[in-house]
């Protein structure tokens, strides 16, 4: 299952690094505690709407653009999950010996 | 300030109504309590990532598409806020008497 907060954290970290900002700087600009921002970036805490608004201001990215980047990041994960499910389905239809060979190849 | 949860609630409600589903049906499919879903739709509670994943499945909308719709809804609010700020700036530069007339016109 795709976890929104994990991908949101990645998008926020990427944006911060694009700007060359430190966590401490974002924390000061957004007036959000360093610990909280750090947990959000690591996908360990949900960000409240107020907090996300403040962070989006601090990293100079409109909320709409933040959500658009998040949507792209999720779409990428979704297509990977689909590819995994599809390749598992293909493998499942192979004759037993070939299947074993493919599975051991993939595992190698 | 644009509140993410308010717009998320609107997007979710629109999607549910597109499908002609009741809150009770979404609640049962998503295995999320009726009260919680109802509060999320009204923008009164933040939705956890797990909960959003479950709701997105129940209303048959990939998370990426949900975030994309949310991004569009926010962009619309952002352009309205910008227009408001700009028109306020224009009004502020008018001579005092014209300004008073415009403000009372807008308030009417």
Reported as a single tens digit per residue, the pLDDT across A47-104 is 999 999 999 999 999 999 999 999 999 999 999 887 777 777 776 777 767 666 655 6
Q: Do B71 and A48 touch (CB under 8 A)?
A: no
Of A46, A65, A71, the CB nearest to B64: A71
Of A4, A65, A71, the CB nearest to B68: A71
* pLDDT for B88: 73
Among A1, A2, A3, A4, most B C-beta atoms within 10 A, so best to mutate, is A4
Concatenating the DSSP letter of every residue in B11-66 gives: HHHHHHHHTT--HHHHHHHHT--HHHHHHHHTT-SPPPHHHHHHHHHHTT--HHHH
B31 pLDDT exceeds 90?
yes
ipTM for the complex shown:
0.80
In this prediction the pTM is 0.81
């Amino acid at each position: 299952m795709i976890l929104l907060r994990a991908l949101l954290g990645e998008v926020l970290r990427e944006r911060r690094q694009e700007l060359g900002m430190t966590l401490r700087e974002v924390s000061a600009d957004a007036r959000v505690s360093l610990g909280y921002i750090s947990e959000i970036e690591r996908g360990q805490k949900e960000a409240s709407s107020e907090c996300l608004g403040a962070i989006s201001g601090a990293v100079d990215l409109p909320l709409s653009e933040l959500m658009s980047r998040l949507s792209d990041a999720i779409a990428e994960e979704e297509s990977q999950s689909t590819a995994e499910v599809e390749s598992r389905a293909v493998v499942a239809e192979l004759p037993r010996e070939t299947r074993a060979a493919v599975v051991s190849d993939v595992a190698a």
